[in-house]
Amino acid sequence: MQASNSSCAYSNEIVVSQVVFSIKKFANKGDKNYDYLERLIPVFLESALKKVSFFTVTEDQKEQLVSIVSLDDYLNRFKGGSPINRSIVFIKPKLKPVVFRNRVGQDPFSMIFFGEFLVRNNKVFIDIFKSSRYIEFDKTPYKIEASLDDLLQNPEPFFLGYAKSILNYCVYTVSIQVEPKDSVIAIDDSVLGVGDVNEFLLTAGSHKLHVHRDGFKDYNDVITITKDGFHRTIELKRLTYKKHLRIVSKPTGAEVYVNEDFKGMTPLLINVQTDKAIITVSKKGYIDSVLYPFQYYDKNEVSVKLRVSNEIQKEKILAESYKRNSKIMYYSGLGFLATTILMAAEATVYKQEAELYRDSDAERYKKAIDKKNIYSSLATVAALSSGIVLTLSFKDILKYFKKYESGD
């Protein structure tokens, strides 16, 4: 990669912000299999040029620009009046921004970039030219040489080097990381972007850094840039204020603690300081729920659903097993009871039959008595079984209610 321009000329320069630039096609001078670079190289170059905060012109270029922009027919091209206050920009030696709108190729501040490339032995050779309608044309190209893999995987360093080389002042790379990610970052009252800013180009010296996000304290500092690679990570702090917060829970009747101080039972209205108050909602048999400021700072009410603790969960599972067993034994008991009634009915039938044959047929009388005794015995067994099973069923249902109430 070609070394960047290291000169730092500041006196009597014109600062031109919002320069309009156009990137033309980069011609492939070699293997057509690499034609895709015709589209990628302009993208890489554009990304680097967008990191330039402003452009300047030299003394000779300034004289040329003064003569051009003094012409009424030139100024008439701009809608809404003159884009340049000559009494401020061209006379004062200090750097002053010039904000204007123009079309590429028609005005002295516009820049056109173009070039060519060649891929050979997995290496890419790029020539970049810069042209301006009235100021200059690069007769000697800026040359970039890189492996194809490096260029595709990390193109930024190569093209940032070129962006630095076309400036008449020293610039260094600056990266700012912020939390929250949707914070606005500004340098010297100019917005750089929303969220992290990586490898932005800034002049050497001191700059005002400002970071803003609604609901957070603004961050203000002065940073000093002396070399490439300046990096800063900023975490904004939330604005602090007191607020009323309603706490509701399911189940209700949970204890509420603010920084371990008991405040009352849910539902409850409390007064908290949004940057310091850690709220704990607690109920016997349930897992505590902890609320941190970021969870409630923008809310007026917080609803907490408490989860049953592992021990209580086990108790409820055991209670459900008692309920299930009670049901099984209950229906079994009913079955035994029905069997008792059926056996008793059969015993009664054979008892009546025996009475009919008591005096007339001894053999039939004996058979009826035997069957009556069998069914009576079965009825007795069924009745005892029914009583035992129904008693066990009742016992388990009592256990169920006891366990369920203790786990609620």
Residue-wise pLDDT tens digits, 153-185: 999 889 988 888 887 677 888 889 999 888 988
d(CA 383, CA 337): 6
pLDDT, position 116: 94
pLDDT, position 370: 74
Query: Tokens standing for 83?
Result: 């884009």
* Between 393 and 44, the higher pLDDT residue: 44
Q: Which stretch of 36-40, 180-184, 288-292, 360-364 has the lowest confidence by average pLDDT?
A: 360-364
CATH of domain 242-308: 2.60.40
d(CA 23, CA 113): 5
pLDDT, position 308: 77
pLDDT, position 155: 92
- The most confident of 43-52, 358-367, 391-400, by mean pLDDT: 43-52
Query: In this model, does residue 18 exceed pLDDT 70?
Result: no
Nearest to 258 by CA among 271, 246, 242: 271
Three-point CA angle 186, 188, 194, nearest 5°:
10
Q: Which stretch of 56-65, 116-125, 171-180, 230-239 has the lowest confidence by average pLDDT?
A: 56-65
Nearest to 330 by CA among 396, 390, 395: 390
User: Rounded mean pLDDT of 55-77?
Assistant: 57
Mean pLDDT over the full length of the chain: 72
Region for residue 168 given its phi and psi (left: phi exceeds 0; alpha: psi -120 to 50; beta: otherwise): alpha
Q: Which stretch of 8-22, 49-63, 270-284 has the lowest confidence by average pLDDT?
A: 8-22
Query: In this model, does residue 351 exceed pLDDT 60?
Result: yes
pLDDT, position 311: 64
3-state helix, strand, coil in the chain (%, to 5): 35, 30, 30
Could you tell me the CA-to-CA distances from 183 to 134, 193, 235, 297, 325 in Å, in that order?
Answer: 40, 9, 10, 18, 61
Strand-pairing partners, residue 190, are: 187
Structure confidence at residue 386 as a pLDDT band (50, 70, 90) = low
Phi, psi of 121 (to 5 degrees): 55, 45
Task: State the pTM of this model.
Answer: 0.48
CATH of domain 170-237: 2.60.40.10
Structure confidence at residue 13 as a pLDDT band (50, 70, 90) = very low
pLDDT, position 105: 41
User: Rounded mean pLDDT of 284-305?
Assistant: 82
Q: Let me know if 73 is exposed, middle or buried by CB neighbors in 10 A (0-12, 13-18, 19+).
A: exposed
Domain residues of the chain, as ranges? Answer: 1-169, 170-237, 242-308, 311-407
d(CA 223, CA 204): 10
Summarised one tens digit per residue, pLDDT across range 100-150 is 333 334 455 567 888 999 999 999 999 999 887 655 666 789 999 999 999
Q: Which stretch of 151-165, 190-204, 240-254, 334-348 has the lowest confidence by average pLDDT?
A: 334-348
**Same topology between domain 170-237 and domain 242-308:** yes
Structure confidence at residue 219 as a pLDDT band (50, 70, 90) = very high
Kindly report each contact of residues 263-270 with a partner whose C-beta sits within 8 Å and lies 24 or more positions away, as own/partner.
Answer: 266/304, 269/244, 269/245, 270/244, 270/245, 270/246
